[in-house]
Amino acid sequence: MKLTDKQWEKIRDLIPDGEKRADGRGRPWRDKREVLDGILWILKTGAQWSHLPATFPPYQTCHRRFQQWQEQGVMQKVVEALARDLYKRGGVDLSECFIDGSFCMAKKGDLLLAKLSEAKAPRSWQSQTLVALYCLSQSNQHLPTR
């Protein structure tokens, strides 16, 4: 999953730039948007970090940055900013949302129905944002209620 330009504009300033060493040594930090896209891909798919596709920065970089941003509270701020923006747009009523729920389809032919509905469903900006918010919520993040 990759963030849209509109989504990125909402959260760009919440993510800190890489620290530069005083002696000027070391590699320059990878682009923070690319790293966040890699993190979101992992959170969305549930894949292991080592299975991150080569179109993203190295998985070690994404994993390390995810841990840093979690500890610094950056991921919490990102989730809140995206949730507030989606709420303002009328895309979701946060008073009706909950996390920590698990759902299982018990219908016969579930996989076929899921594939058919997924193929027909449009991928709107709002639905992509909800996927990102859901993925981040699964990493011990909490959505704001206001």
Close Cβ partners of 135 (under 8 Å, ≥ 6 residues apart) = 1, 40, 43, 44
CA atoms within 13 A on the CB side of 97: 17
Q: 10-residue block means of pLDDT along the chain (146 residues)?
A: 84 86 81 92 89 94 93 90 80 62 56 53 59 60 48
Q: What's the DSSP call for residue 96?
A: G
Asked whether residue 14 is domain-assigned, the answer is yes
Asked whether residue 24 is domain-assigned, the answer is no
Asked whether residue 109 is domain-assigned, the answer is yes
What pLDDT, on the 0 to 100 scale, is given for residue 84? Answer: 82
Give 143: exposed, middle or buried? Use CB within 10 Å, 0-12, 13-18, 19+: buried
What pLDDT, on the 0 to 100 scale, is given for residue 17? Answer: 84
Asked whether residue 146 is domain-assigned, the answer is no
What pLDDT, on the 0 to 100 scale, is given for residue 32? Answer: 92
Asked whether residue 145 is domain-assigned, the answer is no
What pLDDT, on the 0 to 100 scale, is given for residue 3? Answer: 83
Asked whether residue 71 is domain-assigned, the answer is yes
Residue 130 lies in domain: 5-19+29-137
Asked whether residue 87 is domain-assigned, the answer is yes
pTM of the model: 0.63
The number of folded domains in the chain is 1
**Number of other CB atoms surrounding residue 23 within 10 Å:** 6
Asked whether residue 42 is domain-assigned, the answer is yes
